[in-house]
Amino acid sequence: MPAKKVLIILSDADSFPLKKTSGQDAGKTVDQPSGFFLMELAKPLQKLLDAGYEVTFASPKGQEPTPDPNSESLLAFAGNFYERRRENELIDRMKRENGFSHPRTFSSISDDELESFAGVFIPGGHAPLRDLGADKDLGRILRYFHAKSRPTAAICHGPFAFLSTKFAGDGEFAYKGYKITSWSDAEERMMEMMMGGEIEKVESVLRNEGAVMIEGAKEKIGSITVDRELVTGANPTAANALGDQFLQMLSVH
């Protein structure tokens, strides 16, 4: 029986590639600032800590994670200053107590150590588009949890990390045939209009690999999708429900 420990997967990136379609940079690929989406990390994280789980943060190279600037705006919190302050204070506490500023590198976590984790969680933000999808060591880690049927949670752009399973083991996408919800193509097209550029689409890419993508009106407002060991959600509105479901899956595993 694994201990009450959860591995949290983060990106090292502070930007993602945006292919500009308008303005003076039209035709060029620029670095668009990004990082982890604050509430997508903080809400499930707080639930894990409240339930007595120990968390370990990990990223490709162990660099200090960067918050997505959009996720720190009051707009993201619908004007709730206190909620934003509470979640920023949680991240500050993780920096002081849980090594958040210096995540473990994926390569430093052996299969023997993975045995000690009850589950794995991947928050969103656009940063995973930069460095998680083709990371061989992340592929090894996710394949481990997949093979053991241990709870695996991902939200928004987090499911993009599932592509890494193609770069480890037998080279097959580990979640073929799984029902998955991610940041949708429709939501990304709205971002493209605001940013004046093209962005890689998580929904389309996963569907092309054989995932059964669940997207619709209720997924836009916080519904989550559960299939075997996976729980996934589309956007920040799903963060609370995803955290609750992940905890439930951990408790019965």
- Confirm whether pTM is higher than 0.85: yes
Query: Is the torsion defined by CA of 33, 202, 244, 54 positive or negative?
Result: negative
Separation of alpha carbons 174 and 163, rounded Å: 8
Domain span including residue 116: 3-250
Please name the residues in contact with 75: beta carbons below 8 A apart, sequence gap of 6 or more: none
Residue type, 27: G
Q: Which two tokens stand for residue 159?
A: 């499911």
pLDDT one-digit tens code per residue, 180-234: 999 999 999 999 999 999 999 999 999 999 999 999 999 999 999 999 999 999 9
Q: Count of CB atoms within 10 A of residue 199's CB?
A: 20
CATH number, domain of 243, equals 3.40.50.880
| Count of the separate structural domains present in the chain | 1
Q: What DSSP designation does 235 have?
A: S
pLDDT one-digit tens code per residue, 19-61: 999 888 999 999 999 999 999 999 999 999 999 999 999 999 9
Under the banding of pLDDT at 50, 70 and 90, the label for residue 133 is very high
